[in-house]
Every structure is written in C-alpha cells, then in structure tokens.
C-alpha cells in the first residue's frame, strides 16, 4: 500500500505538471545542469529581451527543441494521468508548465498549457497565429535557398516577427483566471515533476492548500514548496504514478 488517499468520482482534481514528468520520455529538465538548458542560459534564449536582441539564435534554439520533440513519446506517467482522467472525467483539470505536447499525445483532454506550446507560434505585433511546423518548413527552405534575409520569421501582413508561443521569463503565464477558478473549486491537488521554484506556477500548490484541497506530490527530489504537500511520494513519476493511480481509484 503506497497511499492513504482515495479518489471518488465526485472529487475535483487539479494536476500541475512540470518538466520532471517528461524526463523519462527523454526530455531534459531545466535545472539539472548548472542552470543551463541545452547549453544555453535562460537570458540567451528564454526572455523577450533575448528575442529582441537575437531572434535568429532564439529560433535556432527552439527549432532544435521542436525537432527533438518529434521523436519523443509519452511515458507511463502521462498514461497514468490519462487513466485518472478516464475515472474522473470532467472533474480533472490538467495544468502543465510543459510545452512538449506529451499530455495530448497520451490522450488527455482538458489541458491548460500555462507556459504555452512549442507547436504554435504567433506574430509579436498583430498576434496572428501560425503552426511552428509551418515556420520551420519555411526556415529549412530559406536555408537551402541560401536566403540571407530573415524573411522566414517576419509576418507578411504587418512585418512583425513570429515567435514561439512560449511564456518566457518576465512574461505572464496564460489562463491565470481559469487556473485560479479551478483551484478554488478543487478538492484534491496533485503536483508532479516540478521544482517549485518558478512563479507563479509554484504558488498554485500554496493556493490549493489555502482553499482547503488535499495536496499530493510526486517528484524525484523534494521540491522547494514541499511543506505544502500533505502526501509526498519521492521517486520517478513513470515508476510511481501507475501504482498510485491504481490504488487511488480502486
Ligand atoms: N519523475 C519525477 N520528477 C522528476 C523526474 C522524474 N522522472 N526527473 C526529474 N524530476 C524532478 C526534479 O527533481 C525537479 O524537481 O522534476 C523537477 C524538474 O524541475 P525543473 O527542471 O525546474 O522544471 P520545472 O519545475 O517544470 O520548471 C518550471 O521553469 O524554465 C522554466 O518555463 C520553464 O516551465 C518551466 C519552469
């Protein structure tokens, strides 16, 4: 017996996931290599200032991430969450900080991507949306034509610049009103694979606890905000979650 928690179909569950849930799929987490992300500092590739300074570098970086993700598959932790959703239906809200689309690939719905998604891009002036795959196809064609102009990321309608739909440091996460409403109503809050160091995401656990939810955590290391977790399971989510979900729903 791993857990004292039991779910009923009337429970309203909010789940918050972070990079750790995708680690066993082969996606690197952010804070395990000297604060560098794939050999780049956050200031070089994950701020609006970095994009204004050097859009080419930022796009090269996200193009490489996008291409890497094409070969990545959901792991047992993503599928365990899908099982939990099959049990709870609409009563499960899945908030993710991840941009990798692996929850969708596992079949989950009702997902709030608070830090955006690498699958979409938008013009920073007129906000027109475009799929990242379309932009990257243009980029590849431009490079093979030895095109010297950065035409591939400029919006032909307004001459703004396309950027990935990713919430960078210093920007406000998406859907905060909806997230707050769901947390106010939830009876249980489950946090998986996140270091609890990036705000406001790290505050959501605290908020859930204040609104009276039972809080559960699954993480490889003890997250910064672990004191707000009622039932903490230390270990890999791909190993633990399939067993936990089976017990929670039995
Ligand atoms: N199972 C569970 N937890 C894991 C696993 C695993 N297999 N592997 C690693 N972890 C844990 C680590 O112990 C760590 O606490 O996942 C956490 C990953 O932390 P971060 O790399 O800081 O990722 P995250 O919390 O999602 O980052 C938040 O910061 O860089 C920004 O916007 C970016 O969304 C990201 C945000």
- Give the Å distance between the CA of 2 and the centre of ligand 1: 23
Residues 190, 233: one domain? Answer: yes
Q: Are residues 91 and 21 in the same domain?
A: yes
Which of 10-19, 58-67, 150-159 tops mean pLDDT? 10-19
Please name the residue ranges forming H helices in the chain: 20-23, 42-45, 48-53, 55-69, 76-88, 102-105, 132-144, 176-185, 201-210, 237-248
Percent of the chain at pLDDT > 90 equals 75
Distance 220 CA to ligand 1 centre (A): 9
Judge if the beta carbon of residue 219 lies within 6 A of ligand 1.
yes
CATH number of the domain to which 94 belongs: 3.40.50.1220
Specify whether 44 is located in the same domain as 162: yes
Q: Is the CB of 19 under 6 A from ligand 1?
A: yes
**125 prior amide bond cis, ω within 30:** no
Residue 148 has pLDDT above 50, yes or no: no
Q: What is the mean pLDDT of residues 174-197?
A: 97
Task: Tell me which of 150, 166, 182 is where a domain ends.
Answer: 166
Domain count, the chain: 2
Q: Per-residue pLDDT averaged across 198-219, rounded?
A: 97
Spatial CA neighbour of 209 closest among 9, 16, 1, 2: 16
Closest-CA residue, ligand 1 atom 9, reads: 20
Task: List pLDDT tens digits, range 91-100.
Answer: 999 999 999 9
| Contact yes or no for 46/220 (Cβ under 8 A) | no
Q: Looking at the structure, do residues 111 and 123 belong to the same domain, yes or no? A: no
Q: What percent of the chain shows pLDDT beyond 70?
A: 92
Atom of ligand 1 nearest to the CA of 99: 34
- pLDDT bracket for residue 127 (50, 70, 90): very high
- Do residues 36 and 153 both lie within one domain? yes
Check if the beta carbon of residue 57 is closer than 8 Å to that of residue 70: no
For residues 89 and 113, is the Cβ–Cβ distance under 8 A?
Answer: no
Long-range Cβ pairs for the range 142-145 (8 Å, 24+):
none
Kindly state the average pLDDT of the residues 136-162. 68
* Better-predicted residue by pLDDT, 156 or 191: 191
The residue whose CA is least distant from atom 10 of ligand 1 is 20
Burial group, residue 249, by CB count within 10 angstroms (0-12, 13-18, 19+): middle
Minimal-distance CA residue to ligand 1 atom 17: 194
Q: Does the pLDDT of residue 145 top 60, yes or no?
A: no
d(CA 242, ligand 1 centre) in Å? 19
Relative to the CA of 37, which ligand 1 atom is closest? Answer: 30
13 and 122 co-located in one domain: no
> Which of 30-44, 140-154, 182-196 has the lowest average pLDDT?
140-154
Structure-block tokens of residue 14: 């909010």
**Model confidence at 120: pLDDT above 90:** yes
Nearest atom within ligand 1 for CA of residue 77: 1
CA neighbor of 103 nearest in space, from 73, 69, 67, 133: 73
Sheet containing strand 162-166, strands side by side: 129-131, 116-123, 162-166
Q: Is the CB of 220 under 6 A from ligand 1?
A: yes
Domain CATH code at residue 58: 3.30.1600.10
* Average pLDDT value for the chain: 91
Q: Is 100 in the same domain as 151?
A: no
pTM for this predicted structure: 0.94
Known catalytic residue at 115: yes
Which residue among 147, 166, 185 closes a domain?
A: 166
User: Distance from the CA of 92 to the center of ligand 1, in angstroms?
Assistant: 22
pLDDT of 150 higher than 60:
no
User: In terms of domains, do 136 and 249 share one?
Assistant: no
106 and 217 together in one domain: yes
Structural domain containing residue 205? 1-27+75-115+174-250
CA of 191 to the centre of ligand 1 (A): 11
- The residue whose CA is least distant from atom 16 of ligand 1 is 20
What's the pLDDT score for residue 226? Answer: 97
Non-local (6+) Cβ contacts of 112 within 8 A are 93, 94, 95, 96, 174, 175, 178, 179, 182
> What six digits make up the tokens of 97?
């900080």
Length of the chain in terms of residues written: 250
Q: What is the pLDDT of residue 103?
A: 98
Residues 111 and 196 in one domain: yes
Ligand 1 within 6 A of 30 CB?
yes
Quick one: 142 and 217 in the same domain?
no
Q: Which of 103, 115, 174, 233 is catalytic?
A: 115
Give yes or no: residues 156 and 87 share one domain: no
Question: How far, rounded to the nearest angstrom, does the alpha carbon of residue 47 sit from its chain's CA centroid?
Answer: 17
Least confident segment among 30-34, 66-70, 173-177, 241-245: 30-34
- In the prediction, which pLDDT does 126 show? 94
- pLDDT, one tens digit per residue, over 28-73 is 888 765 556 767 888 899 999 999 998 888 988 898 889 999 999 9
Q: Which of 17, 24, 29, 198 to mutate to test the pocket of ligand 1 (most atoms within 8 A of CB)?
A: 29
């Amino acid at each position: 017996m791993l857990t004292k928690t039991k779910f009923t179909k009337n429970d309203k569950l909010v789940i918050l996931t972070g990079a750790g849930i995708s680690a066993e799929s082969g996606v690197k987490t952010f804070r395990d290599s000297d604060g560098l992300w794939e050999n780049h500092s956050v200031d070089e590739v994950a701020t609006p200032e970095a994009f204004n300074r050097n859009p080419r570098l930022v796009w090269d970086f996200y193009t490489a991430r996008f291409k890497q993700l094409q070969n990545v598959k959901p792991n047992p932790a993503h599928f365990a969450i899908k099982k939990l959703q099959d049990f709870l239906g609409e009563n499960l809200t899945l908030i993710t900080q991840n941009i990798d689309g692996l929850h969708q690939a596992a079949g989950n719905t009702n997902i709030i991507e608070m830090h955006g998604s690498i699958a979409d891009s938008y013009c920073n002036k007129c906000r027109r949306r475009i799929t990242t795959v379309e932009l990257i196809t243009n980029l590849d064609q431009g490079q093979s034509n030895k095109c010297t102009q950065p035409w591939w990321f400029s919006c032909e309608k307004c001459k703004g610049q396309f950027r990935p739909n990713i919430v960078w440091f210093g920007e406000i996460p998406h859907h905060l009103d909806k997230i707050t409403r769901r947390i106010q109503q939830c009876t249980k809050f489950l946090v998986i694979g996140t270091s609890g160091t990036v705000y406001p995401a790290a505050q959501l656990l605290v908020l859930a606890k204040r609104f009276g939810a039972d809080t559960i955590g699954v993480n490889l290391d003890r997250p910064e905000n672990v004191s707000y977790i009622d039932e903490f399971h230390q270990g890999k989510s791909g190993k633990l979650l399939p067993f936990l979900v089976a017990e929670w729903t039995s």
